Amino acid sequence: MSQKGFTLIELMVSLVIAVLCMIMMLMLFKQTTQIGISSSQDSEYDAQIRTGLLVAQKLTQNAGYGTGNNHDIVAGTFYNNAAIFWRFIPNIGTTPITYQCQGLAEKISTDGNSKLHRLVLLKRNCGSDTDLIDENWQEDQVIVAFHSSSSTPIFSYALNAGKCTPYGIDKNNSRGLKQLTITAQREHMTGTGGSIKNTVCLNNIINS
The Cα–Cα gap between 207 and 46 comes to: 36
The helix/strand/coil state of 22 is: helix
* Amino acid at site 10: E
Separation between Cα atoms, residue 13 and residue 158, nearest integer Å? 67
Cβ neighbour number for residue 200 with a 10 Å cutoff: 25
What does pTM read for this prediction? 0.77
Residue-range domain boundaries for the chain: 43-202
Show Cβ contacts of residue 48 under 8 Å, excluding neighbours closer than 6 positions: 144, 145, 146
Q: How far is CA 116 from CA 54, 112, 148, in A?
A: 20, 9, 6
* Mean pLDDT computed over 128-146: 90
Q: 3-state DSSP call for residue 75? A: strand
| pLDDT per position as a tens digit, 50-101 | 899 999 999 999 999 988 888 999 999 999 999 999 999 998 888 888 999 9
Neighbours of 105 (CB within 10 A): 24
3-7, 120-124, 132-136, 192-196 — which is least confidently predicted?
3-7
Contacts of 201 (CB under 8 A, 6+ apart): 61, 164, 165, 166, 176, 179
Classify residue 207 by its DSSP letter: B
